[in-house]
């Protein structure tokens, strides 16, 4: 807080903010959309002679810039349809992993083919932009 003196015993006050205001309210930072970052799939190389071991699973890794409820969708590229959806509530900010055993939530094995993972995160009523990554599944 600074003061500009106008006359003896009279002054005009003004504030210069450096950092957060005393009440902690900052417009534009509270309730921002979550961001999904660093999405990777840990599977064998793209060599057509490498096959995924159905027993070991596929590891989908991603990062969150804030805690959020995450939705993972597996889409078939050939059919253009969602194969299955996984809802993961309360994921913490930072690195996350999802181990997929090449089955649907009903336990049915997913057929070999080309697939797309679509990931979204929701926090404080705001939904992230969808992030996608492609995967070729061969047994």
Task: With a cut of 90, say whether residue 44 has pLDDT above it.
Answer: no
**Of residues 62, 69, 61, the one with CA closest to residue 128:** 69
Residue 72 is assigned to a structural domain of this protein = yes
Residue 26 is assigned to a structural domain of this protein = no
Residue 2 is assigned to a structural domain of this protein = no
pLDDT band at 42 (very low <50, low <70, confident <90, very high): confident
Residue 7 is assigned to a structural domain of this protein = no
Residue 111 is assigned to a structural domain of this protein = yes
Residue 36 is assigned to a structural domain of this protein = yes
Q: Per-residue pLDDT tens for 6-38?
A: 444 444 333 333 344 444 443 434 568 999 998
pLDDT band at 43 (very low <50, low <70, confident <90, very high): low
pLDDT band at 136 (very low <50, low <70, confident <90, very high): confident
Q: Residue 55 maps to which CATH number?
A: 2.60.40.4070
Tell me the C-alpha distance between 100 and 18, whole Å.
47
Q: Per-residue pLDDT tens for 108-124?
A: 999 989 999 999 999 99
Tell me the C-alpha distance between 103 and 42, whole Å.
16
Residue 100 is assigned to a structural domain of this protein = yes
pLDDT at 35: 94
pLDDT at 51: 53
Contact 64, 32 (CB under 8 A): no
Residue 4 is assigned to a structural domain of this protein = no
- Could you give the number of structural domains in the chain? 1
The whole domain housing 56 covers 32-137
């Amino acid at each position: 807080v600074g003061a500009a003196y106008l006359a003896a015993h009279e002054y005009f006050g003004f504030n210069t903010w450096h950092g957060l205001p005393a009440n902690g309210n900052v417009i534009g930072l509270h309730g921002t959309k979550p961001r999904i970052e660093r999405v990777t799939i840990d599977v064998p190389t793209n060599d057509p002679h490498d096959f995924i071991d159905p027993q070991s699973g596929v590891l989908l890794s991603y990062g969150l810039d804030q805690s959020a409820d995450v939705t993972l969708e597996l889409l078939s590229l050939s059919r253009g349809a969602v194969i299955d959806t996984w809802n993961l509530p309360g994921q913490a900010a930072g690195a996350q992993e999802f181990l997929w055993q090449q089955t649907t939530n009903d336990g049915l094995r997913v057929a070999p083919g080309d697939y797309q993972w679509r990931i979204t995160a929701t926090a404080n009523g705001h939904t992230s932009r969808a992030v996608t990554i492609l995967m070729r599944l061969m047994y």
